[in-house]
Structure formats: structure tokens, C-alpha cells
Structure 1
Amino acid sequence: MKKCPECGNPSYDGAPVCGNCGFKFPKQKVAVKRERSIFESQPEVERPPKVEKPPKMEKQKVKKPSNEPGVIDIIKEKKLIIGAILLITLIVICGIVLTGSNKNTSTPIQTGDMVVYDAGDFSFKYPKSWEQVNLTDSEHESAIFYMDENNTVIEHYNISSSATSLKDINQQRINYALDNGDAVELLETVTLDGRNGSNIILENADGNYTRYVSMFTDGELYVFKISGDSINSITSENINKVINSADIA
């Protein structure tokens, strides 16, 4: 209970005015419990001294290998190039040795009843009735062979020779034939393409016949070798026409 300060009349604590004289009681202050604000300044906490970190060591840059070839690479590359050149040169030399200097590389050209054989530096004509056959000559690997209607074999080859004259070549051929039991039936000098040539006929030990018609000029030996069972077969008109058509460029 509370008393009115004007008339002393008692009133309950929450009465806004005095019930006797009408005095307005002042509003009571409500005590608010004070709570600590999170915004109030806090006492500073002593922090440990800052430890300075040691300076970072700069990483040493590793030099990347250059793409440019070094001296050793250049030497190796040159060795490979030189090796390749030597290999190609060796192959070419082997090809020359194996084929010799025979120039019998030609594509026959047919003209009427005759076929022209032309190797550039040497040419001749032969009847189209002749058959080119696949035979071999161990001493002249690039020789070419034909067979006529009488089964006579006509061989042609040309090679480089170190001989000084056709006489020396014929002498060697005759000596070789005699050593093998062959007999010399004919040895004569002939003119072919305006040049001196030779005509040799041998009777072989087996009863067959071989004829050599040769021309020699500027270190090159051009030969027709005809093999048959009789002298008539190796001296036929067609064979003589072929030999007479020979032309040295």
C-alpha cells in the first residue's frame, strides 16, 4: 500500500490516482537488470610476440635443355648422312659390277616385217618371226638371245674391254676354243658399219657350230654369237642381214 502525499489517503501500490483527492501518482520506474553488453570494451589480452618467419629461399631455376642441336648431335647427324651416301654409292657400284658395261637395255620397235633393237649407242634389225628367248650367259649376264625358225640361237652382247685391238681379242678367243677341243673353221676380217670387224666360225667338240662376229671401237666390244647344228644354220641369209644392219652410234 501507498499513501497519497496530498491527503494521506492510503491507496494500493498500482493505483494511478488517489481515490480521495484525485492526486496523480508518479509512474514507478521498473528496475531493469543490467546485462553485460557484448559491445563493452574487453580488457586487452597480452598476445605473444610475433615471431618473424625466416625469409623464403628463392628456388633455383633449372635451365631447361635447349631444343637446338648440340655439337655431338650435329656430328651424329652428319655421320648418318655420310653413311647413307656411302651406302647408296656402294649399291650403285654393285649394280654396275653385276650388270657390267653391257648397254643392252632397249625396247624393241616393230617396223613392217622387222623389229628394231636400239640401245642408244648400238642398234640392229631382226625379223619379227624371231623369238626372244630367256637364256643366260655366265660371262655376259646382260646378253640378249633370239631363236630363228631353224632353232638357231643368236646372242648379242657388248662390253667394255681393256684390249688394244680386235686382233688381240680374236687371238684370246681362238686360244680358249682350242683349249676346249674346238676347231677353227674360218677366221676372216669383215667390214661392218664402215668399221673393221671379224668373223670366226668354230666347230665345237660336240659337233655343233659357233660363230662370232665382232666389232671393236673406242674400248667397246660388240659381239654377235650364233650357235647352231650346221654351218648353213649359222650363216643363213636372215642372220647375215641382221649382222649387216648393225649400227654403232
Structure 2
Amino acid sequence: MEIDYNNIKVIGFDADDTLWVNETYFREAEEEFGRLLSKYETPNKIDQELFKKEISNLPLYGYGVKAFVLSMVEMALELSNYNVSNKTIEAILNIGKDMLNKPVELLDGVEHVLKTLSKNYRLILATKGDLLDQERKLEKSGLTDYFHHIEVLSDKKEANYSRLLNHLDINPSEFLMIGNSLKSDILPLVNINAHAIHVPFHTTWAHEEVTEEETNGKAYKTIKSLNEILGIFD
């Protein structure tokens, strides 16, 4: 399906796993959590229960490292029948602190792509997660000056994007979103008649996965790396 991008005036970017590495650190943290709780359950069971806990907590805690840490603490208490040691709780808190202190590792070509596109398009950053953490990562990334607007959303559903575009006076037909998550960065935009380009990351959180039925017939483009964007807009 050929998609016409000639009317695009504003380009939006997701942050985590689109501009910089993020999900990899969560997978590493889950493995460490599994080791800490190994006396109580198998790694696979711990992983499954932690995921269920995260999903059940989403309406209350939202997304991000801090929400993840709270879910780990709750899960440690439950799996241990409330016998987990203070040292283990401290170790879980330290997992979260280590995640928050990770360096920001930009993905290949990110700055070159942003620098090039910013000459002809208005760029915005639309990400979800913890506000303080996302602001920290953006500051460390050195990418702030490329964006006309930065928005940290509580979620990335059609209504969230519609409110954002309306607030910024952007016509959906003139907006393109670029991101790694079909669920959060692509399908909601297609469904409000905006454009979207999918740049898969090698690791995807289970909550962000979608079925083939959900993507069937949807008009979006998939590319292998962010560098391919420049070939579309040359």
C-alpha cells in the first residue's frame, strides 16, 4: 500500500526504544528480580506474576520505572507470603535506582535524523511514562533543542493523541507519528486519520504487543531503522 506523505507538516517521535534504549533495562531488571525471589518461585512463574501485577496496577501507578518498582515490591511480599527480608526489599529499590541512573544510549542515526528533519518540519516528542524520569532522559540525550513541543502522556490512546493535536492546532492529516510500538505509536494515530511509521525495536513489552487481526488493513509503513526516514522525506 503506497502512502502519500506530501501533506505532512508536523512529525512526532516516541522516545523509549525509538530514540534511545529502554526496554532492555526492564528485561535485565526482571531477571535480577527473579534471582532475588528464586527461593520462593521459579523464574518463569515470577515473571508471569510480575507482569500480571504491573497490568493490574497500571490504572493506579501508570507507566515507568517507579511504577515498576512498586509492582516488584508488592509481588515480593505476595510471593514470599510476606516473609521477604528487608535486605531483599532494599535490593529491589536499588534495582529501580540503577534503572533511573542508566546512561541514555541513543539508537543509531537518531540525532542525524532529527537534525535533518527539523530543517523542514516541526518536530514534537510524544512519550508516556514518569514525568521526572522522561525529563531526565531527554536532558541527558542532548536532543531537547530539536523539538518544538514535548509532551509526556499518561497513556497513548486515540483520545490522548486527539487532545494533543487539538491543543497544538495540528490537523491529523498533516501529522506523522514515528515509534516502535504498534499499540501505542501506530494504531491510535491511524485510527484518528493521522499517519504513522513503525520502527520495531528488538525487545517489546508484552503489554505493547498486538494481534495480526488488529493490524490487518491498517495503513502504516514499517521500516528497519530510523535512518530510512530520510529516504522517505528526501
Sort the TM-score into its range (normalised by shorter chain): under 0.3
TM-score, scaled relative to structure 2: 0.25
Using CA pairs under 8 Å that are at least 6 residues apart, name the structure with larger relative contact order, 1 or 2: 2
Greater strand content: 1
Structure with bigger gyration radius: 1
* TM-score, length of structure 1 as denominator length: 0.24
